[in-house]
Amino acid sequence: MRDFENVTLTSEEETKRQYAFMERAREYVREKEQQLGRKLTFHVQTFGCQMNARDSEKLVGILENIGYTEIDDEHADFVIYNTCTVRENANNKVYGRLGYLSNYKKKNPHMVIALCGCMMQEPAVVEKIRTSYRFVNLIFGTHNIYKFAELLCRTFESDSMIVDIWRDTDKIVEDLPVKRKFSFKSGVNIMFGCNNFCSYCIVPYVRGRERSRQPQDIIREIEGLVADGVCEIMLLGQNVNSYGKNLENPMTFAELLREINKIEGLKRIRFMTSHPKDLSDELIYAMRDCDKVCKHMHLPLQSGSSRILKIMNRHYDKEQYLGIVRKLRQEIPDIALTTDIIVGFPGETEEDFLETLDVVQQVEYDSAFTFIYSKRTGTLAAAMDNQVPEEEVKCHFDRLLREVSGISARKAAALEGKVMPVLAEEINEHDAALITGRLDNNAVVHFPGTQDMIGNIYNVHLEECKGFYYLGRVEEDV
């Protein structure tokens, strides 16, 4: 494993270099198509978070650029798994899929199998794949995804497994091909990596240290997306609140939001994830003032116990978190708050759990992602002795889920009968006569509509709340 890329090229020079590799890869694809007498196909399967989803759009963009055609299943000439490693079972899913692919590759020896993403940043994983899954052709990680075209060429030119993993990087390469999943909305990376080292989390070890993109590059990308029909963007980072700290000319996330809000044609701005320790009054005021910024904040709590939060290395306590919530509600009364909560962290007692319940009851989250603590090899928490008994964890989890669900349903019901703007996102998967869209607060709404409505925002009367979604009807265009 190498510590850093030994290259002195500028970002612009590296971009040109990768396009040259794309041209070479295109020739390899043409040759293989002539041999087989048909077009080559590919399938990208994404595990994990929205950062991974955005990375996969970059992989798809390059594969289509060199001549592959995308299909919906793994019976393809090129299969790539973009992996997640937040929890152990994410790794097991990938091993299971590789077992399935091994039989298919025996029948199709020309098939290429690639693995990338967070799971590949773990040396033990790479070693296991080298020894137990030797039919895999290419392995790379999170730091050198921009070299995908180059790695493809190496794969086409070699009969052995190509492994290219970096421990870290300070490089950001712009302007490579991207194929968006949606025409009307897009994720936009504003930074990469994480410096927080929460004791339960593997992410800083697999995503590297924080590095922010230049604001002018972010603005230019969003302007290009808007010109291409995008009306909603999601700003992505492991901790967007710390954006800009490592730039030569530092810029805060709040300042970046205000600049993005000026972009003509853009209608909605979302972002995630926000770490409470870096949530400033300046950001709250920017959310209040910027009309395009959705009034929704995903603010992970993880635990309501100050004692547990300290062991988690979260750098805030219960009262500080509640103070942030009070400030948000004071400045943005209609803000929707969502969160993440872990139950059963090592050493958690009944008293600690009751502190979490107390925060849930005080904040009244619109929704919450609740997790049972999962021991993650390589983190500090995994080595702690006082793991909580499974029965106790299950009991706490069920109690928390009941509380969260009741509050969420009550909050959702309060909007019934109101008329609110909804972005039409897709044809409903269960009823083709309905459109599925989202409110500013990220809640789902189903309403009668047609394909040509997708990507537009409509005023929708929320006629009936069904617990965690709404049935509605369009009243008029926004």
pLDDT on residue 417 = 96
Can you give the pLDDT at residue 397?
97
How many other CB atoms sit within 10 Å of the CB of residue 70? 14
Question: Which tens digit of pLDDT belongs to each residue from 18-48?
Answer: 999 999 999 999 999 999 999 999 999 999 8
- Looking at residue 316, its pLDDT comes to 97
Q: What pLDDT is stored for residue 1 in this prediction?
A: 41
- Residue 107 is inside which H or E element, if any? helix 88-107
DSSP assignment of 205-236 equals HHH-S-EEPPHHHHHHHHHHHHHTT--EEEEE
Q: Which of 189, 238, 198 is nearest to 217 (CA)?
A: 189
* Nearest partner of 173 among 66, 59, 51, 13, judged by Cα: 13
From the list 68, 128, 51, 64, the residue with the least C-alpha distance to 94 is: 128
pLDDT for 476:
63
pLDDT at 88 over 80: no
Mean pLDDT of 334-341: 96
Q: Please give the DSSP secondary-structure letter assigned to residue 183.
A: S
